[in-house]
Amino acid sequence: MIKIFQLLRVRVFVLLAFSSLVFINQCGPFSAKSHDQPAPAVIAATSQEISTDARFDSHIAELKKRLPSKEFTVITQPPFVVIGDEPATVVNEHAVTTIKWAVDRLKQDFFTKDPKYILDIWLFKDAVSYQKHTRILFGEEPTTPYGYYSSTLKALIMNIGTGGGTLVHEIVHPFMEANFPACPPWFNEGLGSLYEQCGDVNGHIYGFSNWRLPGLQQAIKQGNTSSFKNLTAMDSNAFYSDGKGINYSESRYLCYYLQEKGLLVKFYQEFQTHQKEDPSGYKSLQKVLGTSNMDVFQKRWAKYVLALKQDFELRPL
């Protein structure tokens, strides 16, 4: 059920739907200010190329040689190039109200550097297009129905039919790679997952409770979550081997808690500054939370999470 209510100066449109166990995560449209931004350059597959930078000129010229069909539209939205097989106006809407919106706010609160390379964001209109074109363009089968970021391919490859939330999640990763390359998986995925369901609160990006909550609440009740000391210490193999996604959910709602207490940006800054002596972020977490007894804190956090509900704040188009 979708619930409409007001919180501070929130203007958000979010949608969560279930279809064949595929979640639709949405971030946008956002505050009215996002629509006041100049539209990026739109390039149809057969039109004259328009770009704002010589690097984009060269990149797009090569990219257009690879377009699978004339259905695709190419849009410059630095530091990305956006390619989609929906109508040009729809692709442009994704570029402005999701990609630009998210990039502007992520850079405002967290990131000072753009990714080193121009990255492509491929927005395929539905599951059929996503699976077909991932095979054609990249020679691989997607392992998720939503989308993913590949640093090797320098691309974000998305089934945009499942919503814009996964897109915002994946945008976090190349920015984290550029600004905090030693970031451990728990915080990289925790911050990305936080913005799967997001909106604008007073000009800042803000994560809302989402579909990961019920599974986490069940895991807490069953005692199946990790201690924060163990969670933060996990390497990639340990973190991603969790087939139930509990590590993702626990990381997300730890970030959510920090956000709700006004500590998330402070934690990021503290962790990034002291990462060499605190590679997991555990000590930085203790410092920002103002506690040395993390067992007591985790019990308080668990109680907090169990009281949360999946309420979404909405702003209709």
b (16+ CB within 10 A) / e for 173-209? bbbbbbbbeebbbbbbbbbbbbbbbbbbbeeebbbbb
Rounded Cα gap, residues 45 and 168, in angstroms: 25
Asked if residue 201 lies in contact with residue 7, where contact means CB atoms within 8 angstroms, the answer is: yes
Query: In the prediction, which pLDDT does 310 show?
Result: 80
Query: Residue 242 CB: number of other CB atoms within 10 A?
Result: 14
CA distances 33 to 49, 203, 219, 270, Å, are 28, 9, 40, 30
Query: Residue 126 CB: number of other CB atoms within 10 A?
Result: 14
Phi then psi for 211, rounded to 5 degrees? -65, -15
Domains of the chain, earliest start first: 28-181 (3.40.30)
Query: In the prediction, which pLDDT does 93 show?
Result: 97
Mean pLDDT, each 10-residue run in order, the chain (317 residues): 31 33 47 35 40 81 93 95 97 97 97 96 98 96 94 96 94 97 98 96 95 97 98 97 94 98 98 97 98 97 95 43
Rounded Cα gap, residues 310 and 2, in angstroms: 9
As a whole number of Å, the end-to-end CA separation of the chain is 18
Rounded Cα gap, residues 205 and 202, in angstroms: 9
Residue matched to tokens 């999640």: 169
